[in-house]
Amino acid sequence: MALVTSTEMFKKAYDGGYAVGAFNVNNMEIVQGITEACREEKAPVILQVSKGARAYANRTYLVKMVEAAVIECPEIPIVLHLDHGDSFETCKSCIDDGFTSVMIDASSKPFAENIEITKQVVEYAHDHGVVVEAELGALAGVEDDVNVSAENSHYTRPEEVEEFVAKTGCDSLAIAIGTSHGAYKFKPGTNPQLRFDILEEVSKKLPGFPIVLHGSSSVPQNYVEMINAHGGKMPGAIGVPEEQLREAAKLAVCKINIDSDLRLAMTGTIRQYFDEHPDHFDPRQYLKPARANIKELVRHKLVDVLGCAGKA
């Protein structure tokens, strides 16, 4: 199977009450860990590349690694998606490079400007058979070099979504309902609670339309502890409760973005490895268990959180 768009995936996810996992990829081991789990669990998958990842690996390597995954995993549908495209030019460049889906994130701009930029991307993307995710509302946290403080974040306003989707022609919409980027999403000791009332209102206004959740890592405490036990310092790292993501996946949420959890699994595993094997220096030795733990983490997400195992 060649790379696909998310159109069919989202339709099946919406009707089937599950979500597709959108995992960020930065290197070969991450691509392999994710796609090996998806192949074994027969799950559709979205591999997403941020502007920062593209700058880190350069514009060719990640595309070619995802194409390698398509060859290695012919049984499952794979989307190559640009995460948080910041401009028409970045989106165009990814479309020209063979991405099948792009996100234009103009959510920090005023409403009318967000519509204008998103519309321009949609026109170019649709002319090239590529789908577009847009965003309304502002998540807290760090993405690429933009750091949105908790005070500057705001929930999506349901009264804006119909006009936004109608005027832009976007194919899916990311909304802000209390998730945030990074490993520090909620204050320790508080009770994390997503705004399901906003999700419900949005989906009533956009029946059948795929909704996306960013900032949806759950920050597994076993990996936070592993990092802290082996020289790291991540006190108070807290994520979105997995039960709430499972609930969202049963509703209109068709795409759930996970990046930080993969980073924690990789970093924790490597830190522990170095502690236990101070004389080792072959990268294959420490990247192998890191890749294996990413694979098991992704398997858990597919089966227990997203509900998309067996849906390929």
- Is 53 a binding residue for ligand G3H by CB under 6 A? The answer is yes
Residues 219-258 vs ligand G3H: string with x where CB under 6 A? ----------------------------------------
Residue 216's binding partner among ligand G3H, ligand 13P, Zn ion, none (Cβ under 5 to 8 angstroms by kind) is: ligand 13P
**Which of 51, 185, 214, 271 lies at the binding interface for Zn ion (CB under 5 A)?**
214
Residue 235 backbone dihedrals phi, psi, to 5 degrees: -70, 140
Q: Nearest to residue 25, comparing CAs of 41, 58, 47?
A: 47
Per CB under 6 A, 257 contacts ligand 13P: yes
* Polymer length of the chain: 312
Q: Does 299 bind Zn ion (CB under 5 A)?
A: no
Residue (13 or 22) nearer to Zn ion, CB: 22
Q: Which of residues 142-181 bind ligand G3H (CB under 6 A)?
A: 143-144, 181
Q: What residue 217 binds from ligand 13P, Zn ion, ligand G3H, none (CB within 5 to 8 A, per partner kind)?
A: ligand 13P
Write phi, then psi, for 24 (nearest 5 degrees). Answer: -80, 140
Of residues 214, 255, 291, 311, which one binds ligand 13P by CB under 6 A? Answer: 214
Q: Are 247 and 196 in contact (CB under 8 A)?
A: yes
Say whether residue 52 binds ligand G3H (CB under 6 A).
Answer: yes
* Listed residue (212, 225, 220, 200) closest to 170, CA to CA: 212
Would you count residue 307 as binding ligand 13P (CB under 6 A)? no
Comparison of 165 and 297: residue with beta carbon closer to ligand 13P: 297
Distance CA 258, CA 255 (A): 10
Residue with smaller CB distance to Zn ion, 144 or 242: 144
Quote the CA–CA distance of 202 and 252 in Å, as a whole number.
9
Determine contact, residues 220/268, Cβ cutoff 8 Å: no
CA 238 to CA 277: how far, in whole Å? Answer: 29
Q: Helix 88-97 and helix 111-127: axis angle, to 10°?
A: 20
Q: Hey, which residues are catalytic here?
A: 83
Q: Which residues bind Zn ion (CB under 5 A)?
A: 214
